[in-house]
Structure 1
Amino acid sequence: MWSLYTANMKDMSSASSFGWNPEEKKAEMFHRAARHLIVRSATSNTTLCGFSTLRFETEISYVVPERKDDVLYIYEIHVAEDYRRKGIGTFLLSLAEQLGRKWKMNRLMLTVLLANTTALHHYAKQGFVIDASSPNEQHDMFPSPCATAEDSSGNQNESSRQPCDYLILCKLLSESATKEGT
């Protein structure tokens, strides 16, 4: 998994605001709370075609700030170059969505670098939108945030957002993620 991650992300991460920090990334990917979905070749059980790293977490609700939302966060999703455009990325996203729904998560979330245009297109096609927690609130590919953050006076809290080189995306998994008091 680490070699696939490195092949896919070392250059892109190095050029990003996140930078390249292998020790930190390994700690995140192999954290005790991390869960992995692994796709191997049907002809060779040792060939890694793709993987996803997931964590079940709790995030502040941007609909009802006093409430916490249960989310399934996709920390990583990678497909080996020889296996791209074969539906593996879509399959991994679908599995994550099914797991999120099964465990009654409110949202499926992920972070994507703006430089990763292939992933941006794929996530938009799969129905992801910009999460209210994203530092960037607009992008041509995504229609609108999952919810709008409001401050205590009821005014939109857009002044705290700063342009950066990534988006936080989400896909709502339950109606309660958009309703007050559930």
Structure 2
Amino acid sequence: MRVPEMRYIIARAASNPLDLMGFVSFQILHEETMDDDIMAQAAYCFELQLVPNARNQGLGEFLMQLLERIGSYWKMDKVMLTVFKANKGAIRFYMEKLGFTLDEISPGACLSALQARRFDYEILSKPCNP
């Protein structure tokens, strides 16, 4: 949390601004692509954390939509994140609810199924709209 380039969007309760409900941390990065000559500009989500009573209320979706808007504003190519394969709830949230897909550099997208099984994570992304 002490990385100078890290940025945070912090959600507080409307009834009490001291009551923290969650946050999303992100950085603006240049990420590799499958083309060695091209780097993608990405708003990379490092963490999305919500207190238990703020979950399933739309707050996580709202925070990620804000990150998408930031990516669009700064003309990023995409929003990216890493998710553990074991975290089925997060995979459903990002892919089914928010429309993320496997990024081209994700193990599941660029390796054979046998090779991809060695990795415990996938990299997801979603294009930023202009």
Identify the match of residue 29 of structure 2 among 57, 71, 76.
57
The residue number in structure 2 matching 1:25 is: none
Length, aligned pairs only: 127
Give the partner amino acid of 1:44.
N
Give the partner amino acid of 2:67.
A
The residue number in structure 2 matching 1:82 is: 53
Identify the match of residue 96 of structure 1 among 62, 67, 70.
67
The residue number in structure 1 matching 2:120 is: 165
| 1:116 corresponds to 2:87 | yes
Q: Report how far residue 162 of structure 1 moved.
A: 3.3
Give the partner amino acid of 1:67.
I
Give runs of aligned pairs for residues 1-182 of structure 1, distance below 5 A.
Answer: 29-62=1-34, 64-124=35-95, 125-137=97-109, 158=111, 161-163=115-117, 164-173=119-128
**Identity across aligned pairs (percent)?**
33
Q: Report how far residue 136 of structure 1 moved.
A: 2.6
Backbone CA RMSD of aligned residues: 1.8
User: In 2, Cα distance between the equivalents of 1:174 and 1:84?
Assistant: 26
CA contact (8 A) 2:42 2:79 kept: yes
User: In 2, Cα distance between the equivalents of 1:170 and 1:65?
Assistant: 19
- Residues 73-118 of structure 1: per-residue CA shift (max 9 Å, x gap): 0000011101111110000110000000000000100001112111
Structure 2 gap segments, 5+ residues each: none
Structure 1 gap segments, 5+ residues each: 1-28, 138-148, 150-157, 176-182
CA contact (8 A) 2:33 2:105 kept: no
Output the TM-score relative to the length of structure 1: 0.65
Query: Rg: which structure is higher?
Result: 1
Which 4+ runs in 1 deviate beyond 3 A? none
Give the partner amino acid of 1:167.
E
User: In 1, Cα distance between the equivalents of 2:2 and 2:91?
Assistant: 25
Give the partner amino acid of 1:45.
P
Give the partner amino acid of 1:38.
I
Q: Report how far residue 39 of structure 1 moved.
A: 0.1
Give the partner amino acid of 2:10.
I
Give the partner amino acid of 1:166.
Y
Give the partner amino acid of 2:99.
G
Considering fraction of residues, name the structure with more strand.
2
